[in-house]
Structure 1
Amino acid sequence: MQHSPRFLALVEAVRGQIAETDVHQIKRWQDEGRTFHLIDVREESEWTQGHLPGASYLGKGIIERDIEARYPSPDTELFLYCGGGFRSILAADALQKMGYRHVVSVDGGFRGWSEAGYPVES
């Protein structure tokens, strides 16, 4: 997908303030049986077409509204992914501004996961 210059500038303006990992690390943790909160922030239509195993859905449009009901502690470790790693950066920035201290964006997102040949749930 071709992103607009202003969108990319917005992402780059906050990227340095957001912790990131990649899809390969998420897969390793899943294979090791590590327990963690993996959140898909894509659109609901994207979620229904397929998502990472073990993920829960809180789209970027509702995450700020609904995050506290699901994860009330600001110390909860949250791993956010989207289609490629841009929207998850912006969602992570919003959660950090809300006081969440351990928010990580998954670089590569669903696209990187799929391209690596990792399993997908639907």
Structure 2
Amino acid sequence: MKYPVILLLSFLLNLSCAQTQTPSSKPINSITADEMKNVVLLDVRTPEEYAQGHLDNSLNINWFDADFAQQVEGIDKNETIYVYCKVGGRSAKAQEKLKSLGYKNVVNLEGGYDAWSLKHPR
């Protein structure tokens, strides 16, 4: 009886330590061109960063703008939104803000534009 209990506890401990990717985030380099056509691409970098390069058809709303919440009001809350920044920090914060504002399908693109531009040089 002792060994099955130890085995079960070991399994549960191992399972709890396993890394899982949340459905609300995905690596930026895993998105396809077809996927990008069917979502709102939201770039939350500064206008200067955006001008240096961005994903085609993306909307630029600066995370640092005091009226960020008001600017995103133009996006339908039922749309799927893929949000990205330079490396992933601002987009994660923006994702949480969007969720708190009632947006249902917000995906943080991990790695940000830096990762994208390494794999897709212009």
Q: Which range, TM-score by smaller chain?
A: 0.7 to 0.9
CA distance in 2, matches of 1:88, 1:112: 14
Partner of 1:65: 70
Query: Given the superposition, is the C-alpha separation of residues 25 and 91 from structure 1 closer, same or farther in structure 2, using an over 3 Å criterion?
Result: same
Structure 1 residues without counterparts, runs of 5 or longer: 1-15
CA offset at residue 42 of structure 1?
0.4
Give the Cα–Cα distance (whole angstroms) in 1 for the partners of residues 116 and 59 of structure 2.
16
In 2, distance between residues paired with 1:46 and 1:103? 22
Between the two proteins, what is the percent identity of the paired residues? 29
Provide the C-alpha distance between the structure 1 equivalents of 2:112 and 2:36, rounded to a whole number of angstroms.
Answer: 20
Q: Could you tell me which residue of structure 2 aligns to residue 80 of structure 1?
A: 83
Where does residue 20 of structure 1 map in the other structure? 25
Taking CA–CA contacts closer than 8 Å with sequence separation of 6 or more, which of the two structures ends up with the larger relative contact order? 1
Shift of 1:84: 0.4
Match of 2:114 in 1: 111
Q: Contact 1:77/1:103 (CA < 8 Å) preserved in 2?
A: yes
- The residue identity in structure 2 corresponding to 1:112 is A
Question: Cα distance, 1:19 vs. partner?
Answer: 1.0
User: Could you say which residue in structure 1 is the equivalent of 2:38?
Assistant: 35
Alignment partner, residue 55 of structure 1: 58
Cα deviation for residue 34 of structure 1 reads 3.8
Where in structure 1 do 4 or more consecutive aligned residues deviate above 6 Å?
none
Pairwise CA RMSD: 2.2
What is the TM-score when the length of structure 2 is the normalising length? 0.72
Give TM-score scaled by structure 1 length.
Answer: 0.72
Aligned length: 100
Give per-residue Cα distances to partners, 1:30-83, cap 9 Å, x unaligned.
156742111100011101111112211111124312111x21x32111110000
**Structure 2: 5+ residue stretches without partners:** 1-20
For residue 100 of structure 2, what is the aligned residue in structure 1?
Answer: 97
* Distance of aligned partners of 1:108 and 1:76 in 2 relative to their CA distance in 1, 3 Å threshold: same
Higher Cα Rg, which structure: 2
The alignment partner of 1:78 has SS state of strand
